[in-house]
Structure 1
């Protein structure tokens, strides 16, 4: 089962994720959220809450895993970073082929901080 964007946004909000924008298509769930921790890096426990919301929906057969592409903002238009999750990671976690630690490590390794991106682009 695939939930619509409004229902997914409501579920993420119930886990403390301040969803600003969310879209779903056949390729991905794309979410932009306002972080509650506007420092220099993306807050890992906040990513965990977002992932846990989706894992719980998957376990309840309310969401079919798809690629998740998240943009984290400090303020509207002020991107802190981005991260993603591959659908296979959700599926392998559900079938116990991937541990929670391995799942988390894979997600954290995808984090792209805006300062890293802008520094690389600004370099000669």
Structure 2
């Protein structure tokens, strides 16, 4: 099975874990866009966990070669809620029992950013309140 064929199977696996995949672009990094089932103000951490578990299970079954995963979480098409990523080496370290599940999760959650974390492009550069 080629790398592309292995990546093509990632989407159905993610869907089987309850992830509403919008797009998967193979390569290194693997670009994942999914629509959250929890369109609040923050990315739902358990949903991140389900996506990661799908990938971990594929990697443990030697059905996916771990690469960096860059995920974009959307509320609706074009409405980005946030992003997160996981390095390929983190998957390998977890599978090789070099790091714990807690350490793996902590690393991923440290990369989590919410769309409102970005500077507001509409905000004025200078504020009248500044002295």
TM-score range with shorter-chain normalisation? over 0.9
Equivalent residue number for residue 14 of structure 1 = 16
Q: Tell me, yes or no, if the aligned pair for 2:7 and 2:64 is still in contact at 8 Å.
A: no
Indicate the SS of the match to 2:118: helix
- Once residues 111 and 121 of structure 1 are traced to their aligned partners in structure 2, the CA distance between those partners, rounded to angstroms, is 23
1:4 CA displacement:
3.1
| Pair member with larger Rg | 2
The 5 Å alignment of 1:54-69 reads 54-69=55-70
CA gap 1:116/1:21 in 2 versus in 1, 3 angstroms: same
The 5 Å alignment of 1:43-58 reads 43-58=44-59
Structure 1 runs (4+) greater than 3 angstroms displaced: 118-123
Aligned residues: 122
Name which of structure 1's ranges 111-120 and 46-55 shifts more when overlaid on structure 2: 111-120
1:122 CA displacement:
4.1
Give the alignment's Cα RMSD to 1 decimal: 1.6
- Once residues 120 and 90 of structure 1 are traced to their aligned partners in structure 2, the CA distance between those partners, rounded to angstroms, is 35
CA gap 1:84/1:123 in 2 versus in 1, 3 angstroms: farther
- Once residues 111 and 71 of structure 1 are traced to their aligned partners in structure 2, the CA distance between those partners, rounded to angstroms, is 10
Unaligned runs of 5+ in 1: none
Structure with greater helix percent: 1
Indicate the SS of the match to 1:9: helix
